[in-house]
Amino acid sequence: MQASTRIAIAAEHPLVATMLRTLLEQEAGAEIVIVTPLKGASPLIMAAAPDFVMIETGTSTPAFDLVAGLVRECSRCRIAVLCLDDDPDVAARYLRAGAQGVFLGSVTPEDLIAGVRSIARGEMVAPPAVVALLSPDTSQPGSLELSAREFQVLELLAQGWTNREIADDLHISIKTVDTHRGHVLKKLRLRNNSDLTRFAVKHGYVSLATCQR
């Protein structure tokens, strides 16, 4: 992670927010641009213009809508969620909502920092228990081999978006979208967009309803 990486922290628990700030500043050398409670966090985060958003949540204040909103409004932001309730099912839902990484409450400080650095490089990060939920079919290659951008392209293609629409939404070229699409098909051993859509629905990345576009 570059020292200039701008991180926003949105946390359910003030004490955890303080600990995350200290850890990310001292161990990762990041610049913390805002620390905010989960409630009303989205506009504050957008105004702070971070490169990376670290969200901490438990069972009492889920943040699925926050994650989904940030994915739509801040496509360049990397998003990680620390799930203190230690529930792999909940953590998997955050990945499906668009987060690039999730951590359970049992994560060590060292693993959290290493994971944040990986996410900042564009990788997906999740504990094995969460990966097992996302890739139940062992005949398919691990979907977490996809980069964060490839995940975004996978989800949008599965929802019926055209390459031009995806390019406009993600602020990249149509050629880049087509390159990402090719990587997704190759990594997942799929042949076309129909296969891609079936894969996305089967593994819970999109619902069947969202594919009726």
Digitized pLDDT (tens) for each residue of the chain, 213 residues in all: 665 789 999 999 999 999 999 999 998 889 999 999 999 999 999 999 999 999 999 877 789 889 988 988 887 899 999 999 888 988 988 988 889 899 999 999 999 999 999 888 888 888 888 877 765 443 444 455 667 678 788 888 988 899 999 998 888 999 999 999 999 998 888 889 888 888 877 766 665 555 545
Q: Specify the 3-state DSSP secondary structure of 7.
A: strand
Query: Domain check: are 127 and 151 in the same one?
Result: no
Phi, psi (rounded to 5 degrees) for 82: -100, 110
- The secondary structure of residue 125, as a DSSP letter, is B
Q: What are the structure tokens assigned to 1, written together? A: 């992670």
**What pLDDT shows up at residue 12?**
94
> Given CA atoms 141, 145, 114, 156 in this order, what sign does their dihedral have?
negative
**What pLDDT shows up at residue 138?**
38
Minimal CA–CA distance to 151: which of 117, 188, 120?
Answer: 188
Query: Domain check: are 26 and 96 in the same one?
Result: yes
Q: How many domains does the chain have?
A: 2
Minimal CA–CA distance to 120: which of 140, 147, 88, 93?
Answer: 147
Rounded distance between C-alpha atoms, residue 207 and residue 152, angstroms: 15
Q: Which of 134, 154, 182 is the last residue of a domain?
A: 134
Does 167 map to a domain? yes
Does 1 map to a domain? no
Query: Domain check: are 164 and 200 in the same one?
Result: yes
